[in-house]
Amino acid sequence: MTWLSRFLGGQDASSRGLTARQAQSIAGWRHLPEPDPHRSHYRCRYVVVDVAATGSDVNVDRLRSIGAVAVVDGQIDFKDALQLAVADLAPARASPPAAGEEEGGRTATVDALIAFLGFVGKGRLVAYNAPFVERMIERALDESLGIRLGLQWMDLAWVLPDLWRQVDAGQGRLDAWLDHFGIDSMQRHDALSDAFATAQLLQVTLAQALRKGFETSASLAALEKARRHMHQSG
């Protein structure tokens, strides 16, 4: 088994169409250290992620772009953000691609997803409606790179109602929470713009969590898990 296949979980790099450089980048990501979930919110890095897709059905629709914004030590740095276009990975096409088009599109997609891995590292991921965002990204990574991200996600759709039980957010809509806190999304349904708005929502969440004694990502993960369990039991 070659060093490339070891880093791709037994898959030969050529079967995935990966270059040695691309496989080496993935190997470097795999060897990054895991974050400490017991560090204070204000001593760690969160990465807020949103996506744009061809539709809202995770089983049918395809990932088109990723927006990601880092919140480090509780602060947003406008330069610590990423927006990537991802080629439509649908298996069928209405017409054959032009010469070089399919190969060029795949290379761009692979490079975009590797850039996403490099930006995220092994940090804690945050989204609103995380299952949809996670599913879209995980499927693209599996199809193009043959890997699973395998990182923990925080879903603000579950955390926010427990931290602000007095707020009626209209059945958990993101727009309602943004309106409640006076947060503007410059361009709704644009992946980076929505990620930036959600990052501001995370800042508010971390401050409230600290006031209520939830000082680490591990404590918020426990809060989210408990709320999910109560919802399923009810």
Q: Spell out the domain ranges in the chain.
A: 1-31, 35-233
Provide φ and ψ at 47, rounded to 5°.
-120, 115
- Cβ(214)–Cβ(220) below 8 Å: yes
Topology of the domain comprising 35-233: Nucleotidyltransferase; domain 5 (3.30.420)
| pLDDT category of residue 4 using cuts at 50, 70 and 90 | very low
pTM metric for this prediction: 0.86
| pLDDT category of residue 94 using cuts at 50, 70 and 90 | very low
- Cβ(138)–Cβ(151) below 8 Å: no
Provide the strand spans (E) within 147-203.
153-155
In tens, the pLDDT along 28-69 reads 999 999 999 999 999 999 999 999 999 999 888 989 999 999
